[in-house]
Amino acid sequence: MEDTLQALNDLISQFLCLNQPLWSISDDADSFVEAVDELTSTIHSLESTSADHILLESFDHLLERCSLRLGEELQHLIDASDFDANYSNPNTRKSHDDDDSHTLIAQPVSNFDIIVDTLPEGVIFEANRIAKRMVAAGFGDSCAETYASSRLNFINESIARLGVHARMAEMFKSASWEELETQIMCWIPAIRVVFHILIPSERHLCDRIFDGFTSYSDLAFVTACQPFLQLLSFGNFIAAAGKNPECLFRIVDMYDAVRDILPVLDDAFNPEVAALRECLGLSIKAILMALENLVRRDPSESCPLDGGVHPMTRYVMNYLVTACVSRHTLEEVMLLQFGCSDPSGNCPIEPDRPTSSLAVHLAWIVDVLMGNLVSKSKVYSHAPLSCIFLVNNGIYIIKKVNGCELKVLLGEDWTKVIHSKVNQWILEYRRATWGKAVMILDKDRRFCSNVNVITEKLSRFNNFVEAICQVQSRWVLVDKQQAVDFSILVEELVMPAYRDMVEMLKATRSPGELYMRPEDVRSRIQQLFKAMTR
C-alpha cells in the first residue's frame, strides 16, 4: 500500500504542479480523472481492510489535494463559459444610464415556456465528471459551493440585463414614490423572467451537473440562486413603503406578478415567495383601510360654493373605479387575509356578488363617504343648497357605479338605497324652496273674492320666484337629466296652486289687473334649472 501511495502521489503530483488548466488538454484531464478514480478506489479498499490510520491519512491528504484541484478546474470551466462582454444579438439593447456601461438590457419576453442552456454541452459533461469525483471523495459540499460561486457572475449579469439589481431595496431606500414606481415597472417583468426562465434553467443545469446527487444539486441550486432571491426583498420594501392610497395600483401589479410565478415556483423558494405574497396582501389591505380613514377624516369646512361635486367624491369614486379593474386580485387578498380553509391559498374567488369580502369593504368606504358628505352639507347656511350639494354628489356616485364593474360588485340593492337617498334630498329641496312659494299662494276662502288679497299674493309669489332664480342660478346641477327632473317636480308642485290663484283673480272680473301668466311661470322655472346645468 505504501508503494501504491507513492506511485499515485508521483503520478498525481505531475498534474497538480501544472500551471495551466488540466481541462485545456483533454488527455491531461482524462489521465487525471483516471488517477483520481484509482486513488478513491484504493482508499475505499484500504478503509475496509486496514487499521493503519497513518497510511489512511496520507491517502486522504492526497485525495484532498486532488479535490482542491478539481474544484479549481470546475471553476475555470464555468468561468471560461461565462458571458462574453462583446456579445450582442437583436433581442438585447445597451443601457444608456451610464456612458461607461456595457450591460446589455434584455427586451421584453412573451414566451416563458423555455429552458435556457447557459453552458455548452461539453462543459456540462466535463463539469459532471468533476462533480462525480468530488462527491465520491467526500467533497460534495465544497463542489456545490464552488459551482455556485462560479455562477455568480453569470447570474448577476443576467439580473443586470433585465434592467434591475439584486440589491434594489438598498439602492432606492431614500427614493421618492415616483422614482420607486419607475423601478417597480422594471421589477415586474424582471421577476417574471427570473422565476419563469432563469431559475428553472438554473435548476435544470444543476440537475445535469450533479446528476444522481440530489442533495448536492439542491445545495448548489439554492446557493447559486441567492441573487435572484434578493430581488424579492425589493417587493417587501415596497410593501412597507407604500402607505398612501396612490400606492395601491403598483402594489397590486406586484402582487399579480408574484401570483403568476406560483405555478412554476421551485419548491425550494416556496417560503420566500409565500412570505412576499402575504406581505403585499397585507399592504393592499392596509392601503384600503388608509383610504377609508382618509375619507372619514376629511375636514368638513370646505365645500364648493355652487353646491357642485366635492373633490373628495371625485377622488374616491375614480379611485374605486380604477381599483375594480383588479377586483379579482383584491378579492383574493381579502379572502387570504380573513382566512381560507385551503392551505395552498387557492380560495374560491367570487367577486361578482355583493356579499363578497371586497364588496362589503368597498360598500363601507362609499357609505363612509356618504356620511362625510352629509356632514359637509351642514356647512351651507342655506338648506336648499345643502340638498343640491348632496344630490349632485349622490348622482355622481351613482353614475360612477353604474358606469363600471362597481355596479356588478355592489349589486342592485345597494344602488337602490343610494337612489332612495338622492330622491329624499330632491324632495327636501323642493319642500325647502318651492314649498314656501306655494305657501304664499295658500288659498284662504274668506278672501277668495278680494282682488287686493289675490293680487298681493301673486305679486309676492312673483317676487319670491325672482329672488329664488337670482340666488339659485349661481348654483349648479351636474346632470342635465336631473335638471329636467327637478323642473318637472317643481312644476308639479307650483303650477296647480298658481293656476288656481289666477283663476280666482279672473273670477273677480278684474281683467285689467297685471299678473304673470302660468306659461311664463313654467318657463321661468325651466330657465332656472337650465341655467344650473351650465
Is the model's pLDDT at 104 over the cut of 50? no
- Interacting residues of 111 by C-beta distance below 8 A, sequence separation 6+: none
- Interacting residues of 206 by C-beta distance below 8 A, sequence separation 6+: 147, 217, 218, 220, 221, 224
Residue 509's pLDDT is 61
Looking at per-residue pLDDT, the higher value among 386 and 298 belongs to 386
Per DSSP, the three-state class of 87 is coil
Residue 404's pLDDT is 83
Q: Cell 470551466 identifies what position?
A: 77
pLDDT over 70 for what percent of the chain? 86
Is the model's pLDDT at 499 over the cut of 70? yes
Are the C-beta atoms of residues 307 and 335 closer than 8 Å to each other? no
- As a whole number of angstroms, the distance between CA 189 and CA 353 comes to 32
Residue 108's pLDDT is 55
Give 90: exposed, middle or buried? Use CB within 10 Å, 0-12, 13-18, 19+.
Answer: exposed
Per-residue pLDDT averaged across 237-256, rounded?
92
Name the band, by pLDDT with cuts 50, 70 and 90, for residue 110: low
- The residue type found at 251 is I
- The residue type found at 62 is L
Is the model's pLDDT at 346 over the cut of 80? no
Residue 92's pLDDT is 38
Per-residue pLDDT averaged across 262-274, rounded?
91
**Dihedral pair phi/psi, residue 93, rounded to 5°:** -140, 150
- As a whole number of angstroms, the distance between CA 100 and CA 94 comes to 11
Q: Identify the helix (H) or strand (E) that includes residue 529.
A: helix 518-531
Is the model's pLDDT at 88 over the cut of 80? no
Are the C-beta atoms of residues 362 and 278 closer than 8 Å to each other? no
Name the band, by pLDDT with cuts 50, 70 and 90, for residue 98: very low
- Find, among 215, 226, 220, the residue nearest to 147 by Cα: 220
Cα–chain-centroid distance for residue 442?
62
Per DSSP, the three-state class of 106 is strand
Q: What is the per-residue pLDDT across 431-470, written as a single tens digit (0 to 9) for each?
A: 999 998 899 887 654 455 677 788 888 888 999 999 999 9
- Interacting residues of 371 by C-beta distance below 8 A, sequence separation 6+: none
Per DSSP, the three-state class of 348 is coil
Per-residue pLDDT averaged across 50-58, rounded?
70
Give 408: exposed, middle or buried? Use CB within 10 Å, 0-12, 13-18, 19+.
Answer: middle
- As a whole number of angstroms, the distance between CA 188 and CA 310 comes to 36
Name the band, by pLDDT with cuts 50, 70 and 90, for residue 514: low
Task: Return the sign of the alpha-carbon dihedral for residues 462, 468, 470, 473.
Answer: negative
Are the C-beta atoms of residues 222 and 266 closer than 8 Å to each other? no
Which of 234-243, 385-394, 508-517 is most confident? 385-394
Residue 482's pLDDT is 87
DSSP character for 352? S
Cα–chain-centroid distance for residue 167?
21
Is the model's pLDDT at 510 over the cut of 70? no
- Find, among 141, 23, 39, 33, the residue nearest to 72 by Cα: 23
- As a whole number of angstroms, the distance between CA 453 and CA 237 comes to 79
Q: Identify the helix (H) or strand (E) that includes residue 425.
A: helix 412-440
* H-assigned helices in 246-341: 248-260, 270-297, 311-323, 327-337
Residue 532 C-alpha cell reads as 344650473
Q: Which of 193-197, 422-426, 500-504 is the least confident region?
A: 500-504
pLDDT over 90 for what percent of the chain? 51
Q: What is the residue-averaged pLDDT of the chain?
A: 84
Q: Which residues of 22-59 are buried (b: 16+ CB within 10 A; e: fewer)?
A: bbeeeebbebbbebbeebbebbeebeeeeeeeeebebb
Per-residue pLDDT averaged across 17-34, rounded?
85
Give 72: exposed, middle or buried? Use CB within 10 Å, 0-12, 13-18, 19+.
Answer: middle
Per-residue pLDDT averaged across 482-491, rounded?
91
Name the band, by pLDDT with cuts 50, 70 and 90, for residue 232: very high
Specify the length of the chain in residues.
534
Per-residue pLDDT averaged across 199-219, rounded?
94
Name the band, by pLDDT with cuts 50, 70 and 90, for residue 341: very low
- As a whole number of angstroms, the distance between CA 45 and CA 53 comes to 13
Q: Which of 41-50, 78-87, 263-272 is the least confident region?
A: 78-87
- As a whole number of angstroms, the distance between CA 429 and CA 392 comes to 12
